[in-house]
Amino acid sequence: MPKAVYVHIPFCEQICHYCDFNKVFLKGQPVDEYVAACEQEMQATVAQFPFEEIETVYVGGGTPSALSANQLEKLLGSINDIFRPKGEFTIEINPGNAEDEKLDVMKAAGINRLSIGVQAFQEDLLQKIGRTHNENDIYDTIARARKFGLDNISIDLMFGLPHQSIEMFTETLQKAVELDVPHFSAYSLKVEEKTIFHQLFRKGKLQLPTEDDEVAMYDLLINTLINSGYNHYEISNFGKLGFESKHNLTYWNNEEYYGIGAGAHGYVNGFRYANVGPIKKYISLVETKGLSKMENHKVTDNERIEEEMFLGLRKIEGVSVSQFMERYQKSPYDIFGKEIDQLNEQKLLNITKERISLTRKGLFVANEVFEKFLL
């Protein structure tokens, strides 16, 4: 039974060159109708699959803070009325587009965690990746958020970006740590299809750091944040004690969650589903049917076992052997004994009686490790 909700807001005032999430330019879009459709989908989803208690909500995008204050108030009010969340309530915002009026609405609606898309501190680099904010917008947005008591802040950073040097990433980390926020998510660039960067890459016009430099950036990230008092609790995530992302742990713990909105994914009653992406099609389907599922896949036992391993191994603490046995009536060693032994010999896994986790060496080749657990 789901204890978490993800709500997708696909509208953006600017399309970032690396982003492959479901998104559209805000101008001219039926935003009010979309917000109303999200409320209808929430109601229909809960009617079909009731919940006992919602522990986390995450409003992502796109750019949720691109909505007007009135639209945000309507959306967040619907979430509160239908799901009555009890714990972590996160919304993504961009530096420079979360005015005081919007922050006031967020605070009044019970938002208690902000995820801010900083990515980098060098303004030339921000322009090259399609961001519209500048360095001062970062400081201003965080200061104003704290003024409203919104001090549980997570910052997104990126490395392995075009034209990004190790020295630039060092500077970004230094400035980020000085902000003294309780959480960081930091991701290496993956050139995804249907993005501006992919078009440039195909034309040979995307100047990326070398693989060695990208590895050095990840090593620098880990060392800098650990030495600054952050707990490295997931491959790409670092938090001060008690500030780990409870919502994202839902995914890594292979637990169920509702997905609301165009292009959103969910996992309910043993089925993983995806909503249609086009905005008008989403609205039309919800208005006529209440739901807008494009895909609805029954997760097989083998798929659940695979996901338990590669999602669990994303966490630094790794996979719980006892939880695995409780869920599947077998231990990981019964199913993957040979693979675990091989990875252990290669010093890519730490093995204890209760846990299987990646070593520091394993973190740098995580995807190769995960592939070993496909049945």
Which of 188, 179, 316, 145 is CA-nearest to residue 244? 316
What CATH number is associated with residue 332? 1.10.10.920
Examine the domain organization and report whether 248 and 333 are in the same domain: no
pLDDT of residue 193: 86
> Cα–Cα distance between 347 and 360 in angstroms, integer?
9
Give the pLDDT confidence score for residue 351 in this predicted structure.
Answer: 95
- The answer to whether position 279 is within a domain reads no
Reply yes or no on whether the pLDDT at 191 is more than 90.
no
Same domain? For 113 and 241 the reply is yes
Containing structural domain, residue 345: 302-371
* 29 and 87 fall within a common domain: yes
Predicted confidence at residue 198, as pLDDT, reads: 85
Q: Is residue 36 part of a domain?
A: yes
pLDDT recorded at residue 277:
96
Residues 230-278 have pLDDT tens digits of 999 999 999 999 999 999 999 999 999 999 999 999 999 999 999 999 9
Structure tokens at 116: 């801010």
Is residue 284, in this structure, part of any structural domain at all? Answer: no
Residue 294 forms part of a structural domain = no
Residues 243 and 341 in one domain: no
Query: Are 200 and 332 found together in one domain?
Result: no
DSSP code for 139: H
Does 25 lie in the same domain as 131?
yes
Same domain, yes or no, for 13 and 149? yes
The pTM of this model reads 0.96
DSSP state of 66: G
Residue 286 lies in a domain: no
Let me know whether 138 and 225 are in one domain: yes
Joined together, the tokens standing for residue 132 give: 């519209």
Report the pLDDT averaged over residues 175-201: 91
Q: What is the DSSP letter of 276?
A: -
Bond before 263 cis per omega within 30 degrees: no
CA distance 262 to 259: 9
Domain end among 232, 252, 272:
252
Give 353's pLDDT tier (boundaries 50, 70, 90). Answer: confident
Tally helices (H) and strands (E) across the chain: 15, 17
Tell me whether residue 12 is in a domain. yes
Q: Is 315 helix (H, G, I), strand (E, B) or coil?
A: strand
Claim to verify: residue 163 and residue 245 sit in the same structural domain: yes
pLDDT given for residue 357 in this prediction: 98
Q: Name the H helices within the chain.
A: 31-48, 69-83, 100-108, 123-128, 135-147, 166-178, 196-202, 211-227, 246-252, 279-289, 301-312, 321-328, 332-345, 360-363, 366-371
Judge whether 123 lies within some domain: yes
CATH of the domain at 151: 3.20.20.70
Q: Structurally, how many domains does the chain consist of? A: 2
Residues in the chain: 375
Residues 6+ apart with CB under 8 A from 132: 13, 14, 94, 96
**Same-domain pairing of 63 and 156:** yes
Q: How far is CA 132 from CA 48, 122, 138, 212, in A?
A: 41, 12, 11, 29
Stretch 216-226: mean pLDDT: 98
115 and 30 belong to one structural domain: yes
Q: Residue 338, exposed/middle/buried by CB under 10 A (0-12, 13-18, 19+)?
A: exposed
Together in a domain, 232 and 142: yes
